[in-house]
Amino acid sequence: MGDKETIVVIGAGVVGLSTALQIQQHLTASQSILIVAREFPNTTSINYTSPWAGAHYRPSPGTSAQAIREADQCRRTYDRFKRIAAEEPASSIKFLEGIEHLEAPPPEYLDATSRKVAYGHLERYRELSRDELPEGVKWGTRYWSWTLNSPVYCAHLLRKFILKGGQTKEYTVTNLLEAFELASNVKTVVNCSGTGFNDPKSFIIRGQTCLVRNPCSVTLTRQLADGSWSFCIPRPLDGGTVIGGTKQPHNWDPIPSPETRAQLLENASKWFLFTPESGGKFDVIRDIVGRRPAREGGMRIEVEKVGKDSNKTIVHAYGAGGRGFELSWGVAEDVTLLMLENRLLHARASL
């Protein structure tokens, strides 16, 4: 590599891979890029969240600064996914109808302004009339959403990164300063580690889902009267259907709970669109447990100067929680823009 400057991206989850690809478009001849990660898409680990994800787009209305920022990042990711789906069938991204049925809609769903921020960009969006709602449902909507096969999509991103000249290194980073020593002439480290490094605002949210063979032609989310959520997400390219799901903050249990599986399937069986040959029963492939890397207040996306005379830069991009895929390209664009503004990259015509 000689004296080439190496930009190091920590983490090969969906945010790390997307960000590395976005940065790659702006590299000069004197720069190279290296992804350093504990796990890559060919491995499975409970702490490597992306390949476990159900991975579909369901907007999340709200009026907080975090909700508005995330809605913008989701919109840009939606637009990028439309292009990728059209141009790269191997990505596994598929656009299909998304349906939501809420039995006890929170106030932000009933507020026209927060709904517009979250749902306004969606194609084919319409709210359901009262006579279209199933029994017990108070609010519902249909729109054009996307889903993808998460392990296939992550492998697709990594393959593109390598074909464009990117390097990879399997290594467990324990301190961010370590990353500056993992290649020659590292001045910038991009921290897409998911949970950050000892950030007191970071925490994990345990999620348990169930992968079944039953096909489904839509992504359908049902909020129950007690506030819990039940959903089905078809995985394109013959990946089955994900039935979910739980959100358990600070729960480190790695073992799937049989009781949780039974509850998930029982909830979903009441509204799931079974095809005739399934006889109204789920055909289970396996249970899935993952740890969503969440952070109070949402993702940390900012620049930090470190080292002697502040001659080294860390760009933070972690804490997406359960929205890594939904936010991924918006975050990648925001990180790249920060790097351009701080002259860590140089503007080039986008490829």
**Cα 151 from Cα 223, distance rounded (Å):** 27
**How much is the pLDDT for 44?**
85
pTM of the model: 0.95
Q: Is residue 175 part of a domain?
A: yes
In DSSP notation, 139-198 reads EEEEEEEEE--HHHHHHHHHHHHHHTT-EEEE---SSGGGGGGSSTTEEEEEE--SS-SS
For residue 31, name the pLDDT band (cuts at 50, 70, 90).
very high
- By residue count, the chain amounts to 351
Diameter over CA atoms, the chain:
69
Does 348 map to a domain?
Answer: no
Residue-range definition of the domain harbouring residue 82 = 5-342
Q: From the annotation, which residues make up the binding site? A: 49-50, 173, 292, 322
Q: What's residue 348's pLDDT? A: 63
* Closest by Cα among 83, 77, 57, 79 to 143: 57
130 burial (CB, 10 Å; 0-12 / 13-18 / 19+) is exposed
Give residue 351's pLDDT band: very low, low, confident or very high (50, 70, 90): very low
Domain count within the chain: 1
> Which residues sit in the known binding site for FAD?
49-50, 173
Q: Which residues are annotated as a binding site for D-dopa?
A: 292, 322
Burial of 217 (0-12, 13-18, 19+ CB in 10 A): exposed
Mean pLDDT to the nearest integer, 279-300:
95
Tell me, what CATH number does 141's domain have?
3.40.50.720
Note whether residue 108 is domain-resident. Answer: yes
Kind of pairing, strands 312-318 and 186-191? parallel
Distance CA 55, CA 41 (A): 15
Tell me if 244 is assigned to some domain: yes
Q: Tell me, yes or no, whether 347 lies in a domain.
A: no
Strand partners, 289: 208
What is the structure's pLDDT at 349? 52
d(CA 6, CA 307): 17
pLDDT at residue 309 is higher than 90: no
Q: Write the pLDDT tens digit of every residue in 43-100.
A: 888 899 999 898 999 999 998 999 999 999 999 999 999 999 999 999 999 999 999 9
pLDDT digits (tens, 9 = 90+) for 125-134: 999 999 999 9
Q: Of the ranges 19-23, 51-55, 202-206, which one carries the lowest mean pLDDT score? A: 51-55
Does the pLDDT at position 2 exceed 70? no
